[in-house]
Amino acid sequence: MPIGAFGIHCESALFRLAILWYPKSMQAWLLDQPNGIDQLRLGDAPDPVPGPDEVVLEIEFAALNPADQYLAQKQYPARPRWPHILGRDAVGRVIAMGSDVKTVSIGDRCVILRSAVGVDQPGTLAQKVAAAAESLASYPESWTVQQAAAAPLVYLTAWQALTQWGNMPPGVVAITGASGGVGVASVQLARAMGHTVIALSRSQEKRQKLLLLGAHHAFDPNQPDWANQLKQSLDGRKVDLAIDNIGGPQFPDLINTLGNGGRVSIVGRLAGVVPQFNTSTLLFRRLRLGGVMVGSYSAAEAQNAWKQLTALMQQHQQQPLVDSIFDFAQVPAAFARMEAGPMGKVVVRVG
Ligand SMILES: NC(=O)c1ccc[n+]([C@@H]2O[C@H](COP(=O)([O-])OP(=O)(O)OC[C@H]3O[C@@H](n4cnc5c(N)ncnc54)[C@H](OP(=O)(O)O)[C@@H]3O)[C@@H](O)[C@H]2O)c1
């Protein structure tokens, strides 16, 4: 054998051995401690290894949620290992599978429904993520990959907010923070269910877009008489269900718009605590408040909800709304966009 050929053969064998032995790594946005989103740093993390019932996805797009920010500020019930990788939503291709996984194949493109990903487990602001196979789902072919990445958490949340009271005949649904991820999802799903939809947003431009997306009326909650304007627009009807993403000082006015037996699905509190609230306002109309927690869906319940809501959206030719797409290197700017108040979802291009 010529010496040169032997040398080349030897080198490549050693190289392969080194690759096999050396732990592989990926790029990820790392948070060393829950000290705020401005502490995120781009670094190397070990490649995820799937457990028996897990897969590894190579991520193409991820999406941001306010919960990522809350977790980074220690305001979310999570117990991750530090450094942690944030991110609940993503779309990607299956590149590795555990021995017990039978439901997907290598190369399948999937989204992740609500799960421990980005909460107690490393999340999707990384090149790869391990996720339970039972939390993976496909999405309508008419959606783009970016729309798919944006959808799971907020559409499942909106679905729970709309359906947690049982089968509701078509009525009036009012949505606060309607321009955000959960808000837009609630507007679209409520419209598809046949409800009269009222959207609240502080921005004139976003109110116009919400009307185009399916809201029947849109009001500015910063106007002192918004609740009266809302009542007048309904010709004597009252709000049957309010989906509240905001809380804060406008909550008593929201309660005021509800009719007998009215319900409020409490999703978030972006405007902080409700400063003064008289519980007797709930008595005479027998109003009911109910918390929404998308994480409380079991994997099977989330799959069932996802099937129903994607079918409904397809039937009504609806697509998730992407506000903006940022490169992987620009994750801090993407969080700033989310904080500034997007119209729909903020997405990150990973792949
Ligand atoms: N319970 C659950 O399971 C669950 C699941 C998902 C999300 N959430 C929570 O639900 C809330 C909404 O989530 P999201 O993803 O829709 O948020 P988002 O995309 O950031 O949008 C929320 C919208 O609310 C409005 N807003 C923001 N801050 C406000 C303030 N201080 N006062 C009044 N309006 C304000 C903005 O609309 P305008 O500028 O147009 O007014 C913004 O576009 C968050 O608190 C989130 O953590 C809860």
Read off the pTM.
Answer: 0.94
Q: Separation of 54 CA from ligand 1 center, angstroms?
A: 31
Whether residue 18 is predicted with pLDDT greater than 70 in this model: the reply is: no
Would you place residue 19 in the very low, low, confident or very high pLDDT band (cuts 50, 70, 90)?
very low
Pocket of ligand 1 (CB under 6 A): 65-67, 153-154, 157, 177, 179-183, 201-203, 206, 245-246, 248, 267-271, 292-294, 338, 341-342
Query: Which 3-state string (H, E, C) describes the chain?
Result: CCHHHHHHHHHHHHHHHHHHHCCCEEEEEEECCCCCHHHCEEEEEECCCCCCCEEEEEEEEEECCHHHHHHHCCCCCCCCCCCECCCCEEEEEEEEECCCCCCCCCCCEEEECCCCECCCECCCCECEEEEEHHHEECCCCCCCHHHHHHCHHHHHHHHHHHHCCCCCCCCEEEECCCCCHHHHHHHHHHHHCCCEEEEECCCHHHHHHHHHHCCCEEECCCCCCHHHHHHHHCCCCCEEEEEECCCHHHHHHHHHCEEEEEEEEECCCCCCCCCCCCHHHHCCCCCEEEECCHHHCCHHHHHHHHHHHHHHHHHCCCCCCEEEEEEHHHHHHHHHHHHHCCCCEEEEECC
Q: Which atom of ligand 1 is nearest to the CA of 203?
A: 40
Q: Tell me the per-residue pLDDT of 184-220, one tens digit each, with 9 for 90 and over.
A: 999 999 999 999 999 999 999 999 999 999 999 999 9
What local confidence, expressed as pLDDT, does residue 6 receive? Answer: 32
What local confidence, expressed as pLDDT, does residue 10 receive? Answer: 34
Q: Separation of 73 CA from ligand 1 center, angstroms?
A: 16
Would you place residue 23 in the very low, low, confident or very high pLDDT band (cuts 50, 70, 90)?
low
- Which of 115, 220, 267, 321 to mutate to test ligand 1, by most ligand atoms within 8 A of the CB atom? 267
Q: Separation of 149 CA from ligand 1 center, angstroms?
A: 18
Whether residue 15 is predicted with pLDDT greater than 50 in this model: the reply is: no
Q: Separation of 322 CA from ligand 1 center, angstroms?
A: 15
Q: Which domains does the chain have, with CATH numbers?
A: 23-151+320-349 (3.90.180.10), 154-295 (3.40.50.720)
Q: Which atom of ligand 1 is nearest to the CA of 346?
A: 19
Q: Tell me the per-residue pLDDT of 133-153, one tens digit each, with 9 for 90 and over.
A: 999 999 999 999 999 999 999
Q: Tell me the per-residue pLDDT of 53-111, one tens digit each, with 9 for 90 and over.
A: 999 999 999 999 999 999 999 999 899 999 999 999 999 999 999 999 999 999 999 99
Residue nearest to atom 28 of ligand 1 (CA): 270
Q: Which atom of ligand 1 is nearest to the CA of 269?
A: 45
User: Quick one: average pLDDT of 332-340?
Assistant: 97
